[in-house]
Structure formats: structure tokens, C-alpha cells
Amino acid sequence: MQGIGIITLCDKKNMVMDRIFSGIQPTGTPHLGNYLGAIQNWVNLQEEYSSVLYSIMDMHSLTMPKEPAVLRQNILDTTAAVLACGIDPKKCFLFRQSLVPEHAELAWILGCITNVPRLLRLPQWKMKRASQSNGGTVGLLTYPVLQAADILLYKSTHVPVGEDQVLHLELAQDIAQHFNKKYGEFFPVPKAILSTTKKIKSLRDPTVKMSKSDPQKLATVNIVDSPDEIVLKFRKAVTDFTSEVTYDPASRPGVSNLVSIHAAVSGLSTEEVLHQSAGLDTAHYKMVVAEAVIQKFAPIRNEIKKLQEDKSHLIKVLEAGAEKAKELATPIYQEIRRLVGFQ
């Protein structure tokens, strides 16, 4: 089963029939890269499409070791964050993955038609297993199949993805086509909605993407950081010895990363940001970007704090979303059971 490489944008003419699915791992409150690369796009998509599902991927989070108490808190913190960022349960299904057991059941069925060599070639497997002393777990190897099940369980047609998830979506496309060939046309082949936001890089090493697991505390801006913390992180951001503000990711990755962040949080184009910043040196420009981020995150940070104080509300939101997701998934999964011979 070879990668088909079909990556297309959504067809606006058929929006009524389209279904969006996406998920986020519960790592606590998201960072700047999560917000600009995924969550901000989620907010826009829930306004554009009539059928949208967003999942807190707690099953996927087990691929990297977590203490149960930490995972429980992370689920609630991530839920509070996406709600505070503008996700509206009235406009989408927001739910916890493990509350819909059909995800895992379908993953088993799809795993039985997926070749192991294909999974071994995925770069995330090669990269992440290096961090595990046991050489990598079965869950870490097969979680892309669970991702395919997450998408296909709802007959999703479109999936917002970043560049680093394109290969996993291609796997889901291949699995859908393989299932259809074996059992008859059933799954739509999901298409990608690629984020238009430039990938946000580490403030301390602008050659790698911003990550919550970065050991350098000044590398990552979290959406709940205080104004002082944000200012410090941008003041210490790595740039170069040229003081002019320009955009050239290849030769000036540090300052170009700042321009990308500034454009994304302000809603301006790269050209508009550069025009506004003409005459500023990079030291002053860092503070301009820091202030733009502070202004963007201030209301979100306040809303997260309010939501975190009401755990019962967060739990109810996820449970209500799971009930709706289950209603959608049950008839689809029952038909899958019939097709494969379970009933």
C-alpha cells in the first residue's frame, strides 16, 4: 500500500456535505504555535462548516508516558483552553476521544488491513521511539492507525493538518481506499485543509518548531504566560547581528520567525508587518511583537482561569459532546461491523 499523496483544499460549493474532524492531544494549556497553527483555524472552520468534530485525544496521549493525575488535569486544562480560544460547543462537537469506544474498535479493524512496513517508515515513529528506553511501544507504532480511525469513524471529508501530519493523513487516505476496495465503497477519502499560517519556530532555536517539551524554558510562549514572561522570552529570542527587520527564513530564520508570529497574531500580511516595522531595529521590534502577543492572549488567559475554576462544567461539555459524537458514529460503525462480517 503506497502513499497516494492526495492533498487538496476543500470544495466550498459542497460545504453542506462536508464534515471536518480534528483533534488535539491534552498536554495542558497550548503554546503559541498550537494556537496559531491549529486552534485559530478550528475557530474559523466551525463558522464555515455545518458538521465539525473536535476531539481531545486522550488515547493518543498514552503513547508517551503520563501520570494518571497529570493526564486528568491536562484534559481539563486543554478543554478550558480551546473553549477560551473561541471553540463553541453549539457550533461543533467537542468531546473526549476515549468516551467513544468505537474509535479503538475501528482502529483494530483498520490495523488488520495496514502493513507494518508502512508504519515503520513514518518519521514520527523513528523520531519518537528514540526517546523511549524500550525501543518504542506498540501504541507508538500503531497510533497513526488510530488517527485514521478517528477520522473515518465519522466519514469525515476534510481534516485540518499541519505539514508534519501530512504523511499520517496520506495513510488514512490509503486505508480508506484499501477498505473500500476490499468491502465496497464506504468511506470518503478525506482531504487535507492545510494551515496558511507559517510554522512557528522556537524562540531559542529558530530552525526547529516551537514545542512544549523543549527543555529551554525561554523557547516556548504559552498562552497563559504573564505579560512579563512574554516580554522576557521575546527579549531573549535568538536573531542575528543584522539590526534591520526583514523576512528571509533561509538566511535569517530568527527575525523571520518573529515576523511570522507578528503577522499571525495581528492578522496582517508579511508585507504589511514589514512596512509597519520599517526603521525599527530588531531589539525594538522584539518588544513590538511581544506587545502584540500580550494583547492577543490577555482575554484568552483571563477566560482560561475562569473556566479552570469550574471543572464540572468542563466535564459536562466533554460528556455532552461525546454523546453527540456517539450518535453520529454508532450507525456508521454498525454498518462497518456488517461489512467485515461481525454481524
Instruction: Decide if 284 contacts 231 (C-beta within 8 A).
Output: no
List phi, psi (to 5°) of 216: -85, 110
Retrieve residue 288's grid coordinates.
513590538
The residues, ordered by sequence, that sit 6+ positions from 87 with a Cβ below 8 Å of its Cβ are 39, 42, 43, 46, 54, 94
**Active-site pick, 128, 199, 324, 326:** 128
**The length of the chain, given as a count of residues:** 343
**Active-site pick, 66, 212, 311, 326:** 212
Of residues 129, 145, 149, the one with CA closest to residue 137: 129
Is 209 among the catalytic positions? yes
Retrieve residue 134's grid coordinates.
524500550
- 96 sits in which H/E element: strand 93-96
Q: How far is CA 194 from the centre of its chain?
A: 11
**Active-site pick, 66, 199, 209, 326:** 209
Is 199 among the catalytic positions? no
Is 126 among the catalytic positions? no
Q: Catalytic amino acids?
A: 128, 209, 212
